[in-house]
Structure 1
Amino acid sequence: MGKLMDGLGRKETILLRSFLGILGSICMLTSLLLNRFELYVIGHLIAGMLQGLRVVLIIWMAECSPDSKRGLTSLFINSGGVIMTLLVTPLCLPSVWGTERLWFLLPCITALLATAHLLITVILPQSPKHLFIQQNNEEKARESLQFYYGDHKEKEIEEAIREMIHENKQAGKGKTSVLDILQHRTHRFQEP
């Protein structure tokens, strides 16, 4: 997943995740039309792989959020996924939609949600950290920070750029020891 995020990009990995969600749903629905159990298994396998890729969404939100809201947005995305699973799971019961006639509604809902996610992600800028560190494009990183942080936030944008410069230097060192992390104030405390 890390190689995919760094090579392809955070946003593109999320787009891939949404596309795979649609593809998994299509496989399940096609299994109904063609009466082929194998397609359902393939669709379910793809859906299972997407659970691991959910972490990319959390990382992207953390990288795009202002420092003061980073924990809240990461918590919201992670908890939102868990709550959504808790709310949808009862729909799978045989007394609701888990019947032989109605099970197809679940992949339809998944496809609709993945399509909405895909369309929303397409209009959002790339992660500022990916633009700055992996692509060495400070101008685009600043534009992305401006979008995510809002207008008149030059101080916060400059602080985010300084953090990314420091992170880039740390990444250039190779391995970072626990002592390096403990010695650097920004790794231990949030700035007021």
Structure 2
Amino acid sequence: MLKQTTEQTRLMNELINCPRELQKTTQQLSHIVHMQAKVSQAQQNNNDHNLTFELNGIDISHVSRGSSLNATARSLIRAAYGESASYNNLVPGEFDSLLGFLAHIHGLHAAAVFADCHSIKNSLQQMKHDINKKGSSSYSSMAASKQRTSTTIEIPSILHDDDDDDDDDDTF
């Protein structure tokens, strides 16, 4: 009897969570279908031979494919918005277009790229922090370089003072 009650309790818990999981999955699928429709429409409007892609009013279709979707997305953002760009520079709708163009560049089905959109978005958002790290890293390297330089300069002056003391000892 206890075993049956435990099993029924477990099943009830699964039933409680099922609508939330179903809604989440439905939203993800709806987003994928919506994005795939956008990509299909864009592909119908453009020939593959004359494909151009613009972000920020700049044609970035010349940017070559990177080693991963994230690397390519970062290159496209930098080409359109500059080296200090990140996800925050994109205007509404550009991220979806970017995902479609990534699918085209990498020769993947749009659904595969859209399924990975959270990873791509996180990578693009991280670009802002990477620049801050790079800036503080170069600042700390410059500080370390100055410290090494000042240490190098101080060593001869200490030796020079010791030489002066030796001269004074010889005089007495």
TM-score bracket for the superposition, by shorter chain length: under 0.3
Answer 1 or 2: higher relative contact order, Cα 8 Å, separation at least 6. Answer: 1
